[in-house]
């Protein structure tokens, strides 16, 4: 029988439409990831996750990255999420593979990072029987996730994954765990993929919206204010609300300070910027909050590193607290106007009211004159010396890159100096473990950030102690050709702990020296410093260079920036430096150390 044009069209359409067929649970997992638009998965195989890893070899839509440690993979997934705004995905096997993800899950929980962690689990018949490589990962992670799943029926996988991704990215973003026994991965079913999902938990599912009365009340407080301050956090970045924040600040002429999580949400070179506040923040920002009569907190949570003694934080201010997570309202600091709301929607509507002339704008000229004087008189600063100062490394990097780089950090003094001396002008360009403060975060997170921002110059500013904790990820960078760079500010100490020892423990060293005492200091015996990061990096196949003398710093930084692959720059720095300003923990602005 002769085929007509209509018959041929119908045949082509039938061939293009996938026919429902049975799939292994592991293949359903991969299909679910594809449907969520996942492009990169950081995955470490093992016995209980073999099926998932085998299924990942059959996809052409997802790039799989093998880290050299599960913690490295999960931190990389976090860095990817922070840099892209998408959900980061990592997988591991049961038992120790899963438990190695816990730090990254806790970090994502505290810093509101959208992360889905998929773990293999032992066969269902062995659950609860202390089987080989069995842990109750579902129960173990409950305190540090938005939600956990233990999937016991292969037919539930499409729904579970749809829910998990919706939960991870909706409302206040956060981590979700999906634990899948091996027999569920092996079981077969005809998947039914939902196009949409209705989440049953209203707290997790809903995005609250400010009422008109809330917004009008905020504007009435602003009208009466003479010394207002906008205190903004990571919620601005998570909500993609930076442009609306800038519009609101410029219209009202209110100075803006951010948390470390909020760096880049408001350009730090803007005349209204007070940079960032808190324990090591700009003195001007801390004084402004202390003296303000109205504090408008947007997408920030009044954490202890910002507030110190909450009873003495912003003591003169009427406080407006607007946050998407209602549980944060009145938790750490009571608010006069608490508003559970999506900050992007709230700022858009506030700006519309301002444009319509529904608010008499405050006269902040005298207040801005005062904050400008504080900024001029007490900038972030340091004294030069005979040896390279860590602050000057970052300051020089900023000059050479013209501020156009994505900065990732480990945890310690270098983290604070990076925030102080590399001012940010755009969001998602500062990536660091801030709530949890997990050492070892920097380089693996930089790998994830580089995959998310392939055209950006991505640089991990790290300390010698922090970098050592996940140094094995240099192998991942070399094999996968991920051109994330690292600058090690190498002072041979656990610097931040040393600073506290100097300030509060009479300089007594409690296991904070990272080299042999006889090799301490680059002026004495640089060839005997431990470890030799250059040799280690070269052993992984990564280009590396050490800098001892100030004259070599700029050429070495230019070499690092020009290199088209991963690169390590080990800069031996003065080990006597402290991060200043400093407000001791639990203290207040009155106790700020400036010198």
pLDDT tens for 316-333 read 999 999 999 999 999 999
Q: Where in 281-376 does DSSP place strands (E)?
A: 294-298, 318-323, 337-340
Instruction: Report pLDDT digits (tens) over 339-397.
Output: 999 999 999 999 999 999 999 999 999 999 999 999 999 999 999 989 999 999 999 99
Give the pLDDT of residue 515: 83
d(CA 11, CA 300): 57
d(CA 507, CA 523): 22
| 372, burial (CB in 10 Å: exposed 0-12, middle 13-18, buried 19+) | middle
Domain identity same for 328 and 450:
no
Give the H/E segment covering residue 149.
strand 147-150
Instruction: Report pLDDT digits (tens) over 220-260.
Output: 999 999 999 999 999 999 999 999 999 999 999 999 999 99
Domain identity same for 228 and 166:
no
Give the pLDDT of residue 520: 66
| 496, burial (CB in 10 Å: exposed 0-12, middle 13-18, buried 19+) | buried
Most confident region among 1-5, 109-113, 531-535 by mean pLDDT: 109-113
Q: What is the three-class DSSP state of 299? A: coil
Instruction: Report pLDDT digits (tens) over 127-186.
Output: 999 999 999 999 999 999 999 999 999 999 999 999 999 999 999 999 999 999 999 999
Give the pLDDT of residue 271: 98
d(CA 439, CA 336): 37
In a domain, 222, yes or no: yes
Residue 342: CB partners within 8 Å, gap ≥ 6? 207, 208, 209, 210, 239, 324
Rg (CA), the chain: 26
Domain identity same for 396 and 358:
no
In a domain, 243, yes or no: yes
Total-model pTM:
0.94
**Boundary of a domain, candidates 370, 400, 429:** 370
The token pair at 393 is 């490394």
**Boundary of a domain, candidates 315, 341, 370:** 370
| Local confidence band at 595 (pLDDT 50, 70, 90 cut-offs) | confident
Give the pLDDT of residue 203: 63
In a domain, 482, yes or no: yes
Over 50: is that where the pLDDT of 540 sits?
yes
Range of the domain at 266: 212-370
d(CA 583, CA 30): 48
CB 546 within 8 A of CB 489: no
| Local confidence band at 530 (pLDDT 50, 70, 90 cut-offs) | confident
Mean model confidence pLDDT for the chain: 94
Give the H/E segment covering residue 15.
helix 5-16
DSSP 216: H
Q: What is the CATH number of the domain that holds 354?
A: 3.40.50.1220
Cross-strand bridge partners of residue 322: 298, 339
Domain identity same for 409 and 445:
yes
Give the pLDDT of residue 521: 56
What's the angle, vertex CA 366, arms to CA 364 and CA 367, rounded to 5?
A: 60
Pinpoint the alpha helices (H) of 70-193.
70-84, 96-99, 102-111, 137-141, 157-169, 182-186
Over 80: is that where the pLDDT of 524 sits?
no
Domain identity same for 342 and 285:
yes
Angle between helix 473-480 and helix 442-452 axes, rounded to 10 deg: 20
DSSP 2: P
Give the pLDDT of residue 198: 82
A 10 A CB-CB count for 214 gives 19
d(CA 152, CA 180): 7
119-133, 184-198, 250-264, 513-527: which has the minimum mean pLDDT?
Answer: 513-527
d(CA 76, CA 108): 12
Pairing of β 23-24 and β 188-189: antiparallel
Enumerate long-range contacts of 150-153, CB under 8 Å, 24 or more apart: 150/121, 150/179, 150/181, 151/178, 151/179, 151/180, 151/181, 151/184, 152/124, 152/181, 152/184, 153/184
Domain identity same for 360 and 235:
yes
Over 80: is that where the pLDDT of 72 sits?
yes
% of the chain at pLDDT higher than 70: 94
For the stretch 50-73, what's the b/e string if a residue is b when 16 or more beta carbons lie within 10 angstroms of its beta carbon? bbbbebbeebeebeebebbbbbbb
Q: How many CA atoms lie within 13 A of 461 on its CB side?
A: 28
The token pair at 210 is 């400010």
The token pair at 394 is 């970052």
In a domain, 528, yes or no: yes
d(CA 191, CA 213): 47
**Boundary of a domain, candidates 147, 178, 205:** 205
Give the pLDDT of residue 8: 42
| Local confidence band at 205 (pLDDT 50, 70, 90 cut-offs) | low
Short-list 377, 318, 101, 348, CA closest to 239: 348
273-282 average pLDDT score: 98
In a domain, 7, yes or no: no
Domain identity same for 175 and 271:
no
Over 50: is that where the pLDDT of 296 sits?
yes
d(CA 325, CA 346): 14
User: What total number of domains does the chain contain?
Assistant: 3
Give the pLDDT of residue 15: 36
Domain identity same for 192 and 225:
no
Q: What is the CATH number of the domain that holds 433?
A: 3.40.50.970
Cross-strand bridge partners of residue 346: none
Residue 483: CB partners within 8 Å, gap ≥ 6? 450, 458, 477, 563, 564, 565, 566, 567
Residue 174: CB partners within 8 Å, gap ≥ 6? 108, 109, 112, 113, 114, 115, 145, 146, 167, 168
Domain identity same for 417 and 275:
no
Domain identity same for 197 and 217:
no
In a domain, 561, yes or no: yes
In a domain, 5, yes or no: no
Domain identity same for 248 and 314:
yes
In a domain, 487, yes or no: yes
Pinpoint the alpha helices (H) of 195-282.
202-205, 212-224, 234-238, 242-252
Give the pLDDT of residue 174: 97
The token pair at 565 is 């692959």
Q: In which residue are the tokens 């296991």 written?
A: 511
Instruction: List residues with catalytic annotation.
Output: 70, 132-133, 182, 496
CB 438 within 8 A of CB 39: no
Domain identity same for 409 and 480:
yes
């Amino acid at each position: 029988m002769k085929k007509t044009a209509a018959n041929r069209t119908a045949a082509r359409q039938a061939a293009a439409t996938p026919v429902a067929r049975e799939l292994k649970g592991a293949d359903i997992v991969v299909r679910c990831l594809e449907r969520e638009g996942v492009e990169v998965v950081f995955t470490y195989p093992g016995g209980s996750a073999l099926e998932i890893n085998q299924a990942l070899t059959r996809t052409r839509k997802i790039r799989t990255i093998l880290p050299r440690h599960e913690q490295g993979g999960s931190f990389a997934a976090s860095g990817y999420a922070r840099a892209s705004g998408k959900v980061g995905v990592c997988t591991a096997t049961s038992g120790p593979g899963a438990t190695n993800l816990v730090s990254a899950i806790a970090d994502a929980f505290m810093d509101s990072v959208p992360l889905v962690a998929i773990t293999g689990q032992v066969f269902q018949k062995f659950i609860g029987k202390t089987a080989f490589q069995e842990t109750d990962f579902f129960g173990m992670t409950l305190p540090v996730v938005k939600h956990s799943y233990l999937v016991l029926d292969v037919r539930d996988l499409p729904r579970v994954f749809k829910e998990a991704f919706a939960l991870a990215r909706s409302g206040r973003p956060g981590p979700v765990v999906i634990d899948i026994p091996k027999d569920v991965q092996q079981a077969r079913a005809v998947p039914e993929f939902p196009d949409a999902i209705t989440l049953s938990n209203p707290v997790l599912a809903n995005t609250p919206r400010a009422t008109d009365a809330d917004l009008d009340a905020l504007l009435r407080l602003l009208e009466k204010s003479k010394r207002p301050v906008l205190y903004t956090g990571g919620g601005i970045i998570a909500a993609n609300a930076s442009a609306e924040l800038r519009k609101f600040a410029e219209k009202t002429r209110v100075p803006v300070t951010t948390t470390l999580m909020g760096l880049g949400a408001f350009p730090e070179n803007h005349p209204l910027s007070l940079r960032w506040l808190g324990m090591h923040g700009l003195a001007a920002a801390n004084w402004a909050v202390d003296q303000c009569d109205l504090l408008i907190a947007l997408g920030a949570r009044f954490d202890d590193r910002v507030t110190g003694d909450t009873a003495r934080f912003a003591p003169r201010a009427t406080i407006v607290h607007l946050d998407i997570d209602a549980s944060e309202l009145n938790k750490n600091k009571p608010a006069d106007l608490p508003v559970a709301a999506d900050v992007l929607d709230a700022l858009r509507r506030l700006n519309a009211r301002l444009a319509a002339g529904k608010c008499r704008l405050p006269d902040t000229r005298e207040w801005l004159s005062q904050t400008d004087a504080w900024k001029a008189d007490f900038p972030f600063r340091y004294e030069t010396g005979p040896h390279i100062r860590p602050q000057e490394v970052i300051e020089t990097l900023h000059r050479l890159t013209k501020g156009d780089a994505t900065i990732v950090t480990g945890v310690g003094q270098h983290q604070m100096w990076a925030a102080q001396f590399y001012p940010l002008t755009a969001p998602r360009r500062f990536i660091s473990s801030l709530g949890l403060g997990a050492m070892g975060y920097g380089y693996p997170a930089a790998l994830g950030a580089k995959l998310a921002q392939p055209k950006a110059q991505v640089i991990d500013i790290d300390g010698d102690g922090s970098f050592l904790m996940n140094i094995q990820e240099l192998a991942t960078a070399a094999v996968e050709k991920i051109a994330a760079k690292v600058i090690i500010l190498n002072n041979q100490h656990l610097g931040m702990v040393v600073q506290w020892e100097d300030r509060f423990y009479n300089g007594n060293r409690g296991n904070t020296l990272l080299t042999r005492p006889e090799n301490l200091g680059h002026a004495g015996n640089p060839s005997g410093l431990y470890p030799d990061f250059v040799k280690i990096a070269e052993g992984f196949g990564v280009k590396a260079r050490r800098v001892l003398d100030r004259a070599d710093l700029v050429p070495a930084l230019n070499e690092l920036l020009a290199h088209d692959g991963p690169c390590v720059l080990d800069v031996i720095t003065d080990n006597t430096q402290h991060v200043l300003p400093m407000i001791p923990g639990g203290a207040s602005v009155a106790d700020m150390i400036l010198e």
